[in-house]
Amino acid sequence: MERLADLMPNYKQVEDLEQALALEQSKIADKERFEEDVETLQALDAPLELGTMELPEPTTGVLALLDIIKSPLLFSESEDDVIGIHDYYKAVYVLCKGRDAVKDIYALRKSQEKLASAEKIAEKSPEFFGVYLSLIQVLSEKEAEFDAKCYEFGSNLGIIDINQSIKDLGEYISVCFGGFGMLPNTGEEEKKTADMT
């Protein structure tokens, strides 16, 4: 049978725990300070450097384009979410090209829309199935074209630490959205909720 004294942590264990806690608190404070610094610098138009390029400050239109392509840099729930190099190249391409990326994204979305419509028709009319298959091919080609442009653009960034760049880009984008949380609530949402109950 163990004695109560054996179950109690000794002085060295308590000291180690206190040091570990102090270190974790320091890391959290450093991260919060870093995020505040990044937000301040971005507000002052500080560019994000990715390899050989300086990323322009994203506009709401560019952020909407990232939303359209369902960039995981916008939708990642936690730091544990995996964002691959392909997603990174797509985001960098859209952020840097801005309006010039609209044509590619629009062609992709139109192909997706046509395919969705064709799928519904093909389910009801089997003779339309050949058209549906051809639209799958068209969509695959549009996706391959877009992916190739993104990859070519991304591969011209030079030598970079891809993991750090993905992290930096994610933080940069999240800071862009940070201001929206500070907008005052007009009460419309509360009114809508009250009306629904």
**Per-domain boundaries in the chain:** 47-177
pLDDT at 171 (0 to 100)? 76
Residue 122, C-beta contacts closer than 8 angstroms, at least 6 positions apart: 128, 129, 131, 132
Q: Given pLDDT bands bounded at 50, 70 and 90, which one contains residue 59?
A: confident
Q: In this structure, what are the phi and psi dihedrals at residue 49, rounded to the nearest 5 degrees?
A: -95, 125
SS3 content of the chain, % helix, strand, coil (to 5): 75, 5, 20
pLDDT at 144 (0 to 100)? 93
Between residues 43 and 135, which one has the greater pLDDT? Answer: 135
Q: Given pLDDT bands bounded at 50, 70 and 90, which one contains residue 105?
A: very high
Residue listed under structure tokens 């549009």: 142
Distance between CA atoms of residues 195 and 197, nearest Å: 6
Q: Given pLDDT bands bounded at 50, 70 and 90, which one contains residue 188?
A: low
- Given a cut of 80, whether residue 65 has pLDDT beyond it is yes
- The overall pTM is greater than 0.75: no
Do the beta carbons of residue 125 and residue 138 sit within 8 Å? no
Least confident of 1-15, 24-38, 97-111: 1-15
Q: Given pLDDT bands bounded at 50, 70 and 90, which one contains residue 47?
A: low
